[in-house]
Structure 1
Amino acid sequence: MRAHGILNSARCVVMLVMLAMMGMVGLAPAPAHAQTGPTFGIVGANVQKQANAVLTLMSFAVVPDLASSSLSISNTSTDNPALTLWQLGGGFTLSQSFPLYLEGSIAYNRYDPTFVASNGQETRKLPTKWNTFAGTVGVGWDFPLIDSKELVFRPIFNASIGRVASDLSVAKFAVEHVTDQEIAFLDNGAMNAYGLGGSVMLDWESHRNERDVDVELRYTNIYLRSFGTTGGMNASAAAQTASLYARWRAPTGLRALDRPVRYVLELSHSHYFGNQAGALGFSQLTTVGTGLELDTSAHEVFVTRIRGVFRYVFGNNVHGLSFGLAASF
């Protein structure tokens, strides 16, 4: 989900991201197994392709993106989630007089691909689980394009760090059979990665008593490179995403908690380029949403606004519904 809060809440998110990223650096890769017996290998794959695929999965976690921030895609044969993407992020500008922009996001991805292993005589299916943890921070500067400073151009420097850990869901297979380097990587293999890059953004924020409008047009390009990988494999991937986000908020005419109740309309569209394009079966995602917002600022509570939004997500080969809650502090 994407957090749209005021200054204090955004600062908390960025601090959490920085702490999480420091914790990822200290993680060490787990050892691979070595066995005796007939040797099995992955059909139609090699170690380098696996490493690149793992890093491509991580690329979806390092780019701040509403469309893929809360997404679960089910395996049609098992009806279990084969892909889960989750992300929490926020950003803020210090002030109009000193328009330093800071942002941060933390993300978790889970992907459950099934490989086929063979020793030339028999084949076995290998259900695996890839778990990705990643964090991204960004530092930018707002350049106003109009006198009201409602429209700004914002270049951002981004840095990311993450870790992917893989394990076989059928551990007995790795115990009973000799496996080559490819299967060894799938069984408790791990990959750390860092990323450097940047973003450019056009941000229009217009706030009036009768309505609030927020529109963001963003392009992000972060180059990821592996380190500390099981088996010494090296991999790289480029996270390239262009996105549009728009939100309209206006009073409904109703009142609650001594403040107007506002309705919320949302639209976002993300297009994935480079390694991301088609990697998970889609090259673009769109969300449309509607909901309500309660203003609690008239009362002495630490939450000033609460929003609930229903969203419909669709793209190449995917579609679904979601419900999200957001709070401003």
Structure 2
Amino acid sequence: MIAVWWSLAAAGAHAQAGSGLFIPGANVQKRANAVLALMAYSAVPDLASSSLSIDNATSGDPGVTMTQLGGGATISKSVPLYLEGAIAYSRYDPTFVASNGSESRNIPTRWNTVTGTGGIGWDFPLLANRELVIRPIFNFTLGHVASDLAVGKAIAEHVTDQQISFLDNGTLNAYGLGGSVMLDLEHYRDNYEIDVELRYTNIHLQSFGGSSDAVKGMASAQTASLWARWRAPTGLRALDRPLRYVLELSHSQYLGSQAGILGFNRLTTLGTGLELDTSAHEVFVTRVRAVLRYVFGNNVSGASLGLAASF
């Protein structure tokens, strides 16, 4: 993906007492908030940001990598309990600057985040045929951040600022509580199927525990999204069932702490693909989809291949 590389390198060098290297003007508290702001992308189940790889404009190496796997479903029409879950992994590679006032050196770091989000909701039908429902959802999130300081021995021997202790093998745990409201349309006919979801999610993230010298952080994950999918037979058959083509559209507007930190505050995806119906055979899944998507937003564009299954 072509994007703006967002760096957390400390700015405003100034002289410090002693001969060692320091992180000039460092505010690791703000960096911890920024890490949780990145976690906000993973805390919200969202198609547009479920797979992101943002390149460092200077080196070409990925500076931010995010992957999310999740799903949700209503148990049945008679028991309209909705359950959802997602697990996400992200890797963020910022660069800090250490200086003693006369010289400065880059200190690359690696922050790895694992996040799990769950949701429990209830469907309230708005139409007699239950094709349109409004769904309030209670969401909860748990996340873990681990920092690995990748720095040469010569630098490590001179870095004495205590604020760097979190960067060097520090950890940070976070939890989130919040909720969502979703308007869900499922309009299914023999010759086509339409799914539309309009959703707003707000989850407050707060750090806790972690290493003894870990800093504290907080962030707000707020996302408004629209997702729509059209499915219809291609006229071909496979596995004794019609082979369907799929058209998708999604748009996500980021309103919380994650808005703008990667150079964009909204993402739109356009997708097309094929769906294989396996329900005629005794297999664990009933449908398998492969969708090629084009993703774009302000200052960002790219492509992805998505795989999904229905049970």
TM-score (norm 2): 0.90
Q: Secondary structure at the match of 1:52?
A: helix
Name the structure 1 match of 2:59.
Answer: 78
The partner residue of 2:156 within 164, 170, 175 is 175
Cα–Cα, structure 1 residues 212 and 58, in superposed 2: closer, same or farther, change >3 Å?
same
> What is the Cα deviation at residue 232 of structure 1?
4.4
Cα–Cα, structure 1 residues 173 and 57, in superposed 2: closer, same or farther, change >3 Å?
farther
> What is the Cα deviation at residue 234 of structure 1?
2.0
Structure-2 separation of matches of 1:195 and 1:251? 42
The answer to whether the Cα contact below 8 Å between 1:42 and 1:116 also exists between their aligned partners in 2 is yes
Name the structure 2 match of 1:31.
Answer: none
The partner residue of 2:216 within 234, 241, 246 is 234
Percent pairwise identity: 70
Q: Which has the higher helix share?
A: 1
> What is the Cα deviation at residue 173 of structure 1?
5.0
- Unaligned runs of 5+ residues in structure 1 are 1-36
TM-score (norm 1): 0.85
Q: Secondary structure at the match of 1:161?
A: strand
Name the structure 2 match of 1:32.
Answer: none
Q: Secondary structure at the match of 1:102?
A: strand
Amino acid at match of 2:24: V
Name the structure 2 match of 1:288.
Answer: 270
Structure-2 separation of matches of 1:58 and 1:182? 22
Name the structure 2 match of 1:42.
Answer: 23
Q: Secondary structure at the match of 2:22?
A: strand
Cα–Cα, structure 1 residues 292 and 180, in superposed 2: closer, same or farther, change >3 Å?
same
The partner residue of 2:291 within 306, 309, 323 is 309
> What is the Cα deviation at residue 241 of structure 1?
0.6
RMSD (Å) for aligned C-alpha atoms? 1.5
Amino acid at match of 2:55: S
Structure-2 separation of matches of 1:172 and 1:65? 41
Length, aligned pairs only: 293
Name the structure 2 match of 1:215.
Answer: 196
Name the structure 2 match of 1:246.
Answer: 228
Structure-1 separation of matches of 2:198 and 2:141? 21
- Unaligned runs of 5+ residues in structure 2 are 1-17
Cα–Cα, structure 1 residues 315 and 213, in superposed 2: closer, same or farther, change >3 Å?
same
Amino acid at match of 1:298: A
The answer to whether the Cα contact below 8 Å between 1:166 and 1:189 also exists between their aligned partners in 2 is yes
The partner residue of 2:178 within 197, 202, 206 is 197
Matches within 5 A, 1:1-329: 38-172=19-153, 175-230=156-211, 231-329=213-311
Cα–Cα, structure 1 residues 120 and 48, in superposed 2: closer, same or farther, change >3 Å?
same
Amino acid at match of 1:296: T
Q: Which runs of 4+ in 1 moved over 4 A?
A: none
Q: Which moved more, 1:303-312 or 1:143-152?
A: 303-312
